[in-house]
Every structure is written in C-alpha cells, then in structure tokens.
Structure 1
C-alpha cells in the first residue's frame, strides 16, 4: 500500500468488474456491467433494454420512454443494489455508485463528489474567475471541474496512453529485480 499523507490507498480492484458481474442479479442488464474505478469510487454501469415504441415515435418520445425505463429500474432494484454496493464497498474499500444506460439515454445515480485541494497562481485563478463572471460556472470549484472535464474530453487518447504507461510501470515495480 502506498501512503500519501495520512491516507492509505485502497486495495487493488483488478478483479472488480468480474466480481461485480457475478454479484449483480441475472436479468438486470442486457450485457455485463461495466465498472469504472478510481481510488475513491466504483461506478457500476449497466444497460437495460430499450422500451418498444411505435415506428413513428419522435426523438422526444424515445428519450422520455428511456428515462422512464431507467427510473423504473432504479426504483425496482433499489434494495438489491444497496446490498451489492455494500458488499463491493467492503471488498474494495471504495464508495459505489450506479449508472444505467438505455438506448441513447444514461443516468448516473447518487455518486461521489470528492473535494480536491489545489494551489493556483493568479493567471489560473483569472481563468476560473472569467468562467464564473461570464456565467459558465457558479463558483471557482465548478469552473475547475468544468476545465477538467473539457481537458478530459479533448485529450482522451493521450490520457489513455498515459494510463497504459503507468500500468506498465506498476507491473515492472511489482516484478522487481530478480
């Protein structure tokens, strides 16, 4: 375990997706659930079947039907999802959130919003203040989150390569010299 300040890292979650696939109830999802994992949270994404609609249904009708399907899934599975989440939280020492996809719609149920402390110099603060002053964000915190999302969207390929490289370095560290 790596120690960063007073906080210890949670255990590895390499097998979390497989474990979660075995733990969720058969019939909940049309495909195996996807687990998105970081050091604080595991989001379990599942796809539910899209509702059958008339061939002439409008895009608004489709979106409403999909939202209704997601809402019904959330209500019908609440107690069972809580049981699974508690088991996952205990095993992997991370909070668990649920997200559901239906057709083109998706909804992320209650999820973790972790505070992050940072020190910014005046030019960076001015960027955040411009976003707040222009109404793009309500606060510096929201402006910073907006910036992080924007960078993530526009540099996903680079971030993926970086994560892959970090995984290779971690594997080499674990192997160590013989």
Structure 2
C-alpha cells in the first residue's frame, strides 16, 4: 500500500504529464504493488434528449472506442515513461455518460488457502452458474464485497494512511541512520 503522500505525488505526476486535451479531467489515479490505473472523464456524445437508452448506450460505447483508438499513441508513450519511473504497469480507463470502462489492466494471480466451508461457497457459485472456476468465483466474491462495502473500504484505507503518517513521526523514524552509527 502506498502512503497518502506517495499517492499525491503519483497523481500529480500524471496530471502534469498527460497531454492537456487527453481527458476533461483526471478522476482517479490508483496504485498497488503491480499496477497504476489512470481513469479520466471524456465528453459524452451530444444526443437529443428523446433518444432511447439503447441508442444512448451505443453512442457512449462508440465514444469510448473512438477515444481509445485516437489516444493510443499518447497513452502508450506516457505509460512507458511511467513504467520506467515507477516500476509498475500502467492501465487506462474512462468515465463517459455515467459508465466506467477499463481498457487494459493487470489480472494478477493471488494465492490463498481456504478451509472446506469457504471452498463450498466457491463451489456453490460454480454449481449455480455464477462462475466457471474457483478462481472466477473468488474474483466474483471480491467484486461483490467491493461493490457493497465501498464506504467501509474507503474508511479503512483512510485509517491506514493515518497509521502510516503516525508511524513516520514516531521515535523510530530515523533509526536507519542512527542504528548503523551506533554499531561502529
């Protein structure tokens, strides 16, 4: 997990480095151990108010595809620079017309040990046709928690940021410098 200050620097770098006309605004820059994801808002297609929901959805999908193709070279150039600078893959996404689309993103394997009752949950999802495998079922469970516990997860992340700030101010904050000198 990155600190709040690291996140601010990362977001600032992307906001400063992205071409001015790439996004209307940068909405999110998130990072974990493997990946940085940049999501920005793009303009909605201009449509008459009387169009159907199906036409509106198709127009938004077309706008997203047009943006993806038109900006590919610029995004790849920024991603290469960022990958060299930060040592992580960069993924891209857009928000348009109230929906969010991720273009490419890392699907990192995660190993876990589950006891029988937990495996039975996954197997029930497979039997019910919700997932094709235990891996898919576990990913489905994570997405469900993410969707239903978003406020709680945000509070938890904020609390972790506060813990990192307090640790950085503690008495052991400069021990890396003094510890080596004490043992000479």
Pair in the same fold by TM > 0.5? yes
Task: Please tell me whether residue 70 in structure 1 is matched to residue 59 in structure 2.
Answer: no
Task: Please tell me whether residue 154 in structure 1 is matched to residue 157 in structure 2.
Answer: no
Task: Please tell me whether residue 124 in structure 1 is matched to residue 118 in structure 2.
Answer: yes
Aligned residue for 1:32, secondary structure, equals strand
In structure 1, stretches of 5+ residues that fail to align are: 1-11
In structure 2, stretches of 5+ residues that fail to align are: 1-5, 173-184
TM-score scaled to structure 1, two decimals?
A: 0.88
What's 1:57 paired with?
51
Q: CA RMSD in A?
A: 1.4
The question of whether the paired residues in 2 share the 8 Å contact of 1:17 and 1:33 is answered with no
1:19, 1:70 → 2: CA distance? 24
The offset of 1:135, in angstroms, is 0.6
What's 1:86 paired with?
80
Task: Provide, for residues 52-96 of structure 1, a one-character-per-residue CA deviation record: whole Å limited to 9, x for no partner.
Answer: 112321111111111111101110111110010111112222111
1:154, 1:55 → 2: CA distance? 32
User: Number of paired residues?
Assistant: 167
**Superposition pairs of residues 7-156 of structure 1, within 5 angstroms:** 12-156=6-150
The offset of 1:33, in angstroms, is 4.3
Task: Please tell me whether residue 172 in structure 1 is matched to residue 166 in structure 2.
Answer: yes
The question of whether the paired residues in 2 share the 8 Å contact of 1:67 and 1:105 is answered with no
Larger Rg computed on CA atoms: 2
The offset of 1:13, in angstroms, is 4.2
**Deviation beyond 4 Å, 4+ runs, structure 1:** none
Between 129-138 and 14-23, the greater mean CA deviation after superposition: 14-23
**Greater share of helix residues, 1 or 2?**
2
